[in-house]
Chain A
Amino acid sequence: MSMGRPMKSVRQYELVYIALPDSTEETLNDLHQQVAGIVERFGGTIEKTEQWGRRKLAYEINRQREGVYVLEVINGPGEMTAELDRRLRVLDTVMRHLIVRVDEDLAIAERARTRRKTATAQRRVRRGLPPEPTETELNRRAEDNDDLDAIPEMGFRSERGER
Chain B
Amino acid sequence: MSDYDKDRGGRGGKKDDKDKSARRTFFRRRRVCKFCVEKIDYISYKDTKLLSPFIPERGKIQPRRISGTCATHQRALQQAIKRARQLALVPYITD
Contact = CB atoms under 8 A, between A and B. Distances in A.
13 contacts: A18-B87, A58-B88, A58-B90, A96-B86, A96-B87, A100-B45, A105-B42, A149-B37, A151-B29, A153-B53, A155-B28, A160-B66, A162-B26
A156 B67 contact: yes
Contact of A151 (B32, B39, B62, B85): B32
Most A Cβ at <10 Å: residue of B28, B45, B85, B88: B88
B50 to A, nearest CB: 13
Nearest to A154: B29
A123 B88 CA distance: 44
B88 A152 contact: no
Given A59-B92, A67-B88, A159-B66, A100 B37 contact: no
Interface of A: 16, 18, 57-59, 61, 67, 69, 71, 96, 98, 100, 105-106, 108-110, 112-113, 116, 145, 148-149, 151-156, 158-160, 162
Please report whether the interface of chain A is mostly helix, strand, loop or mixed according to DSSP: helix
Most A Cβ at <10 Å: residue of B29, B31, B38: B29
B10 interface: no
Given A58-B90, A98-B87, A71 B46 contact: yes
Contacts of B8: none
Contacts, number: 74
A109 B35 CA distance: 12
Given A58-B90, A98-B83, A155 B29 contact: yes
Contacts of A148: 32, 37
A152 B28 CA distance: 11
Please report whether the interface of chain B is mostly helix, strand, loop or mixed according to DSSP: loop
Interface of B: 26-32, 34, 37-39, 41-42, 45-46, 53, 56, 62, 66-68, 83, 85-92
A59 B32 contact: no
B88 A59 contact: yes
B56 to A, nearest CB: 7
A158 B29 contact: yes
Contact of B89 (A58, A145, A149, A155): A58
B91 to A, nearest CB: 4
Contacts of A18: 87-88
A158 to B, nearest CB: 7
